[in-house]
Homo-oligomer: A and B are copies of this chain.
Amino acid sequence: MEIIVLRYGHRDVRDYRVTTHCALVSRALGANKIIICGEKDESVTKTVDDVTARWGGPFKVEWCDAWKPEVKRLKKKGFVIVHLTMYGLSVEEVTAKGSKLSKSKKVCAIIGSQKVERAVYEAADYNVGVAQQPHSEIAALAVFLDRIQQGKGLSKKFKGADRRIIPQERGKKVIGLKKSKAKKKK
């Protein structure tokens, strides 16, 4: 499954940290790209690109001024548009194994930052709620990505990484890749 995340309404400075979390979650949990709509902030791109350079990809950060042409373009390419909103249908149902959405080859997940205009609800093929309670677009995105990939998004293989974590009961173990010396931390 090819997944693109579209971040709606990013505001410079104010949203730096939350948008960066959104981008890192997109990358870590199996998306190939995040398109951020709003006031361009190269520091978000730099932070995420640095992570991708060290921990692997592929993952891209792109920016756009307006969401509508992006969604139109993605629809033309065959992407199913999923808008994550607490008012939507429950993620459990919509992403259940065997559901139409779970069988999609290409999915674009839209997450809001500032209040999302009504046209987004209309443009989406699915409006999907994670818990139908107010919480966090970062959390909604994470649960959606985990579920839509039937849990496989958590064990994605990354390419071009120069390091990898070896899971530990206690402490930290990171091995170096490519480089001759393995870097071990405890």
Q: Is A27 an interface residue (CB 8 A)?
A: yes
Q: State whether B154 touches A27 (Cβ < 8 A).
A: no
Q: How distant is the Cα of A143 from the Cα of B152 in the complex, in angstroms?
A: 13
Chain A 117-146 per-residue mask, 1 if CB under 8 angstroms from chain B, else 0: 010011010110111111110111111001
Q: Which of A24, A136, A156 counts the most B-chain CB atoms under 10 A from its CB?
A: A136
A108 at the interface (CB under 8 A from B): no
Contact of A29 with B by CB under 8 A: yes
Residues 12-26 (chain A) with a chain B CB within 8 angstroms: 17-18, 21-22, 24-25
How many monomers of this protein are in the complex?
Answer: 2
A63 at the interface (CB under 8 A from B): no
Stretch of A2-10, A32-40, A166-174, A176-184 at the chain-chain interface: A166-174
Closest to A158 in B: B133
User: Are the CB atoms of A136 and B142 closer together than 8 Å?
Assistant: yes
Interchain CA distance A172-B141 in the complex, whole Å: 19
In angstroms, Cα B166 to Cα A129, docked, is 10
Q: Which 3 A-B pairs have the closest CB atoms?
A: A139-B142, A28-B133, A21-B136
Would you mind naming 18 contact pairs between A and B with Cβ atoms under 8 Å apart? Answer: A17-B17, A21-B136, A24-B133, A24-B135, A28-B133, A28-B139, A85-B172, A91-B154, A92-B154, A92-B155, A121-B171, A129-B165, A131-B154, A131-B156, A132-B165, A136-B142, A138-B142, A142-B143
